[in-house]
Structure formats: structure tokens, C-alpha cells
Amino acid sequence: MLPKGNIKILPEIIAKIKQLPFYNIKHLDEEKYKNLGYDPNFLNRHEQYGTGDAIRNNLDWEWTDIFLPAEWKDVGLQFDRAHTGFCIPPHNDHYEFYIKRFSHHKKDIRRRMVFLEDWKTGHYFQINEEVFVKWRQGDWVEFGTDDLHIGGNIGPETRYTLQITGVRNDF
């Protein structure tokens, strides 16, 4: 069973998230997924903004401390804004940049997906064979590097999520 929980997120925090200077960066192997039948137009219909961006841009980031798991270290946050039509095919995360920055072993890395707003029609997330829909604001699920996951937004409203990456303090 995957660890799950909920964090209370105040309206002013959601407002700050929605005002972040999100940007699109292609991070999927489009050719690979195109060969599997995925339309490349749907693979990059999202934008992100994270801890590294905030450091580079000298942006106030202290307000994000509420998302830091107390039992983790070397935590990175990545806010994601997924537009209608976004699809990320089944995959395992590579953690290339995280490993390069912190030198942790891939097997020790954990990730939490935090749903920043209540579920809306067409919003979808799945880890292995466990499907997540009808979540409440602040619900989160934690998974490891070997867990295959998939997500998307085929609904009419933008989906906001947060990926928290780190390792447990005992590593």
C-alpha cells in the first residue's frame, strides 16, 4: 500500500502558486511516445516552476515550507500546471537532476504527488494499478523510483499539482 495523507493548504497559498512564473520545458522523449501512438501535441501541454527556478530567480520561497516533509532531507518542490489535453504516458521518473545535485542513490529517492485543488472532471493520476480520482485539496500519495505512473487532464479546467522529491532523514 502506498503512503497517503493530506496537508491543509490555505487559499492564499493557492493564490501564490497560481501566480508563479510557470514555463514549459519539454522533458519527455517525444519520439519514443509518438512511436507508441501518443500524439506529441498532448505531451507537453503543461508548465512548471520549482525550487531551482526560485533560487535562480531569487524568488521568495519560504511560503513553500508547509510542503516540506519533516522526515525528509534535500527536498525539491516542482509545481505543475496541466492544461486541457495534457497526457503523460506511463513512465518511471529518471531523477537525473536530483541525483546530480544531491548524489543520492536512486533507490533511496521518494516522491509525493500533492493535489493542490479538489479533483475536477477529467483529472487523472495512476501509480502502478492504483487509480486516483475524486481527491480532495491537499491529498497526497508517496511513491518510489520503481513505481510506474501516468497522469493527465482531459477535463475543461487546469489541474494544479505539486511533486515533492527527497530522501528520508535516515539515509
pLDDT in tens, 107-141: 999 999 999 999 999 999 999 999 999 999 999 99
Q: Is the pLDDT at 27 greater than 70, yes or no?
A: no
Helices (H), the chain: 11-18, 30-35, 40-43, 51-56, 96-102
Tell me which CATH homologous superfamily contains domain 4-168: Jelly Rolls (2.60.120.10)
Return mean pLDDT, the chain: 94
The 10 Å Cβ neighbour count of residue 58 is 7
Tell me how far apart the 2 most distant CA atoms of the chain are, in Å.
43
Cell of 93: 521518473
> Helices (DSSP H) in 61-136: which residue ranges?
96-102
* pTM for the whole structure: 0.94
Phi and psi at residue 81, in whole multiples of 5°? -120, 110
C-alpha closest to that of 169 among 127, 108, 125, 100: 108
Q: Give pLDDT, residue 51.
A: 96
The closest alpha carbon to 53, from 22, 17, 27, belongs to 22
- Given a cut of 80, whether residue 29 has pLDDT beyond it is no
Residue 30 pLDDT: 80
Domain range annotation of the chain: 4-168
Give residue 17's pLDDT: 98
Per-residue pLDDT for 28 more than 70?
A: no
Tell me what the mean pLDDT of segment 10-19 comes to: 98
Q: What angle do CA 74, 80, 82 make, to 5 degrees?
A: 160
- What is the pLDDT at residue 43? 82
